[in-house]
Structure 1
């Protein structure tokens, strides 16, 4: 079983994923859109919302990628399997799959909010999926409660935003 990435039109990820599940159900193990929990301020209150982790992409798990490629052409939406060049489709590497699996909850495929502290110039994540992955954090936006991770994904380095609340900072 391998995990492949399908590019779709941004904002249509869940709709296309539902179409894929309906029309390719016999040849896929799973189809999902990874999400992240982030904090947003609305009317003076901070609330947790869920956003798409990789806008414009969905993930499909299958053994039969050639059949999936053929049947994707019949789905009434833009879909393109990611790979090398135009003809070779490659699955996510073991490192990429391990990283996604470590951060996401297995059932709902969500990267939950993390909490942490800043001691001097070092970030220490005390709770959440980023715990133990502090070295991957390249930048923090404390006001928006976000951490930016530079990850090797889809064959290139991508900056990924995930929720991180810093509860205190020591100089």
Structure 2
């Protein structure tokens, strides 16, 4: 992974999204890693850090796949070469697999604004970490985490489950996602 990231200054990398059968995401990633040279592509699963509360009141951090059924691929290949190579891979793969595109167009690479938005939420390991904040009056203030300064995008907060719902654009669709948000304090 560091090899691809180290070259990032020289060329902008494209992101692509593969639709896979839910539960097969890690298998597809390992197959992609063995099929392709690791200097050409980096398959990854965006993850999500959320709080999990057990019945005895114990709270623990849990990591989940952000988009189950989808594998993301970062590549330094030009789009035509990538599509050609990935279609050959899909042809020989033994489970349902599809390269996503924008509607009826022939645009396969993720649009830059969608990619940069998702990158801005994720850490270096493609994980959206949980945020921490407080409520002052009727205003939510995020003190730490990827939602800091972005309180306006929060659509819904569930304080008891330590979660918030935000919308992210992915492949031309607005997708609601649930992220970790701990708000232990509510001030008057």
Answer 1 or 2: which has greater helix percent. 2
What is the CA RMSD across the aligned residues, in angstroms? 1.8
What's the TM-score, normalizing by structure 2?
0.83
Map residues 27-106 of structure 1 onto 2, 5 A cutoff.
Answer: 28-44=40-56, 45-62=58-75, 63=77, 64-85=82-103, 88-106=106-124
Contact 1:5 1:60 in 2 (8 A): yes
Compared CA separation, residues 161 and 7, structure 1 to 2 (3 A): same
Q: Residue 161 of structure 1 aligns with which residue?
A: 178
Contact 2:118 2:168 in 1 (8 A): no
Compared CA separation, residues 24 and 76, structure 1 to 2 (3 A): farther
Contact 2:163 2:178 in 1 (8 A): yes
Q: How far does residue 65 in structure 1 lie from its aligned partner after superposition?
A: 2.6
Answer 1 or 2: which has greater strand percent. 1
Q: Residue 127 of structure 2 aligns with which residue?
A: 110
Compared CA separation, residues 143 and 112, structure 1 to 2 (3 A): same
Higher alpha-carbon Rg? 2
Compared CA separation, residues 85 and 10, structure 1 to 2 (3 A): same
Q: How far does residue 128 in structure 1 lie from its aligned partner after superposition?
A: 1.0
| Counterpart Cα distance in 1 of 2:173 and 2:105 | 18
* Secondary structure class of the residue paired with 2:180: strand
| Counterpart Cα distance in 1 of 2:185 and 2:103 | 47
What's the TM-score, normalizing by structure 1?
0.90
| Counterpart Cα distance in 2 of 1:125 and 1:26 | 38
Aligned length: 170
| Counterpart Cα distance in 1 of 2:119 and 2:47 | 13
Contact 1:120 1:170 in 2 (8 A): yes
Which of 22, 27, 30 is the matching residue for 2:34?
22
* Secondary structure class of the residue paired with 1:88: coil
Spell out, residue by residue over 1:47-67, the C-alpha distance to the aligned partner (whole angstroms, 9 max, x if none): 101001111111001222322
Spell out, residue by residue over 1:69-128, the C-alpha distance to the aligned partner (whole angstroms, 9 max, x if none): 22222122221111134672421111111112111111x211111101112222111001
Compared CA separation, residues 28 and 76, structure 1 to 2 (3 A): farther
| Structure 2 alignment gaps of length 5 or more | 1-12
Q: How far does residue 11 in structure 1 lie from its aligned partner after superposition?
A: 2.1
